[in-house]
Amino acid sequence: MILEALIANAAILLGVTLILWVVAVQIDDASFIDSFWGFGMALMAFTSWMQLRAPGPLATLLMGMAVVWGLRLSIYLFFRWRREGEDKRYERMLRKDREKGRFAFAALTKIFLGQAVLLFIVCSPAQYGILEAATSITISGLALVGLALYLLGIVFEWVGDWQLSRFKADPANEGEVMDKGLWRYTRHPNYFGDACVWWGIWIAAASAGWWVAAATVVGPLFLTFTLVKWSGAALLEKGMKHSRPGYEDYKKRTSAFIPMPPSKSG
């Protein structure tokens, strides 16, 4: 039952990904794929839940956690893309292929298919947890611990994004460094929140069975690595020292990821 459900999820994800790839080729911009990241995970959680004959409370809780997080993030990133246009990271990634007329193939192989695989892996705790908890009638203390961590992540992500949006909307802040609110304690409150959300979902899903925890821990582990060392904070900060003159001083006094009081020496 679980294997068949996961295969169905993978087929749905592949189909939607290919449709979005066609759209990207038509508009010559693949960077809107970021807005699909959250929606895709919400979709995988929802389709897992929909395949259950009688979803129990834990399955419904996990589905709700993933859907609430995913839809909010998707809407936020979609409107940011509409407002700011093509993301410079994707433009740099595809520049040579675009110049050589290989944009379509490069977008498919370098971005869309890769994103689909990573998305499926990262949201594995929600999928496996929902399917394993199909008939669970109770929500355990462990699930509540996961929910608490999830809610902490939601606060950091939502508030961090809101504070940054307000900061960027003020023309007086052009070229300045955002170091107020949550951004005073961590350089990436939204990424920290993301990590907390998915570690929280993993903990809640683990209450469905030890094998769920063992089989899906790769999801939050990989997401955290991505946010800190790969395509998240590390990639974003590479260009900050050129576009934000005060960013190096900000780095010296502000925690890179986990919120901490700012260093006075910085």
Nearest alpha carbon to residue 134 among 61, 66, 44: 61
Q: Does 153 map to a domain?
A: yes
Contacts of 212 by beta carbon, 8 Å cutoff, 6+ apart: 125, 128, 129, 132, 205, 206
Does 7 have pLDDT greater than 90?
Answer: yes
Confidence of residue 239 (pLDDT cuts 50, 70, 90): low
Give 144-189 pLDDT, tens digit per residue. 999 999 999 999 999 999 999 999 889 888 878 898 999 999 999 9
Residue 259 lies in a domain: no
pLDDT tens digits, 63-104:
999 999 999 999 999 999 999 888 888 888 899 989 899 999
- Please give the tally of structural domains in the chain: 1
- State how far Cα 262 lies from the chain centre: 26
**Domain around 151:** 2-253
The whole-number pLDDT of residue 247 equals: 82
* Amino acid code (one letter) for 132: E
- How do residues 129-148 score in pLDDT, each as one tens digit? 999 987 766 899 999 999 99
For residue 122 the two structure tokens come to 């990262």
When pLDDT is cut at 50, 70 and 90, the band that residue 212 belongs to is very high
- Would 265 be classed as within a structural domain? no
Q: Is 266 inside any structural domain?
A: no
pTM (2 d.p.): 0.92
User: Is 260 a member of any domain?
Assistant: no
- Let me know if residue 99 belongs to a domain: yes
pLDDT of residue 228: 87
Quote the mean pLDDT of the chain: 91
Residue 221 lies in a domain: yes
The tokens describing 98, both together, are: 């675009």
- pLDDT at residue 265 tops 80: no
On whether residue 120 sits in a domain, the answer given is yes
